[in-house]
Amino acid sequence: MHPSDRVIANRSAEPSEAELIDRARDGDEGAFRELVVRYEPLVAATAQGMLGRGPEAEDVGQETFVRFWRSLDRFRGDSSAGTYLTRIAMNLSLNVLKRRTRMRRWFAEGDLPDRADPSAFASRETETSETARVVGEAIRTLEPPHRAVVVLRLVQGLSTAETAAALGIPTGTVLSRLSRAQRLLRQKLAPMMDHGTPDAS
C-alpha cells in the first residue's frame, strides 16, 4: 500500500455511530464515552435551551446519557443516536418544567426563584447583549410545547422533519406550533425592540 493510501485509510478509520453503539452494547465503555463526546454538545444545547444554564440542565444532560446507556439493548437505529438523545433530553426537560409549575402552585406568594438564564439562547459572542436577553426572555415565556419547537427548529437549526422526530410529533404539528410561537414572539418582542419587530423566521 502506498503511504498516501495509508493516510487516507487512517482518516477514514474513525468508527461509525453504528459501530460504536454495537461495541457499547457489548460492554465497551470506551465506545460509549466516544458517543458521549460526539453528542454531549447537542444534548447540552437542548437542555439549556429549555431550562437555561444551571444545575437542572446539567442534571438533564447526565440523566440523558444514563438512560441512553440503559436503553442500548432496545435501541434499533430507527432514528439516529442524535435524534434519540435529543428526544430523551427534551422529555426530561419537559418533566423539569412540569415540576417547576407544580412547585409554583404550592407557593401562594409565587416567589420561587427562576434559575433559567435567558442569555443561554444567544451565541457566546452576544449572550450578554440586551437583545439576546430580551429574545431569550420572550422564548422562555412560551408554553413548553411551543418552546420545544422553537428551541429545536430555530435555536438549534434542526429541520422540520428532525424536529418532528425528536419530539415524536407529526411535521404538521411542528409547523403549526412554530407558526403560533412566532406570532407570540412577535407580539412579545414588538414593544421591546427599538427597531421594529425581529423576524423570527
pLDDT digits (tens, 9 = 90+) for 155-179: 888 889 999 999 999 999 999 999 9
The whole-model pTM stands at 0.65
Better-scored residue on pLDDT, 127 or 99: 99
Whether the per-residue pLDDT at 147 is higher than 50: the answer is: yes
Q: Delimit the domains of the chain by residue range.
A: 14-114, 117-201
State the DSSP string of 41-108.
HHHHHHHHHHH-SSHHHHHHHHHHHHHHHHTGGG---SS-HHHHHHHHHHHHHHHHHHHHHHHHHH-T
Across 39-73, b (16+ Cβ under 10 Å) vs e yields beebbbbbbbbbbbbeebbeebbebbbeebeeebe
Determine phi and psi for 197, rounding to 5 degrees. Answer: -85, 125
Mean pLDDT across the stretch 6-20?
68
Residue 165 in grid coordinates: 422526530
DSSP structure class, residue 142: S
Domain 117-201 has CATH 1.10.10.10: yes
Confidence of residue 121 (pLDDT cuts 50, 70, 90): very low
Question: Which residue from 48, 45, 64, 50 is spatially nearest to 146, judged by alpha carbons?
Answer: 50
Quick one: pLDDT at residue 110?
38
pLDDT at 198 over 80: no
Mean pLDDT over 16-36 rounds to 92
d(CA 34, CA 65) in angstroms, rounded, equals 12
pLDDT for residue 122: 43
**Contact assessment for residue 81 and residue 35, using Cβ atoms and an 8 Å cutoff:** yes
User: Class for domain 14-114, per CATH?
Assistant: mainly alpha
Cα–Cα dist 113/27, whole Å: 42
Pair 151, 49: CB distance under 8 Å = yes
Whether residue 5 has pLDDT greater than 60? no
Mean pLDDT of 133-157: 85
Q: What is the mean pLDDT of the chain?
A: 77
Give 27-45 as a DSSP string.
Answer: T-HHHHHHHHHHHHHHHHH
Q: Give me the pLDDT at residue 8, please.
A: 46
Residue 147: CB atoms within 10 A of its CB come to: 21
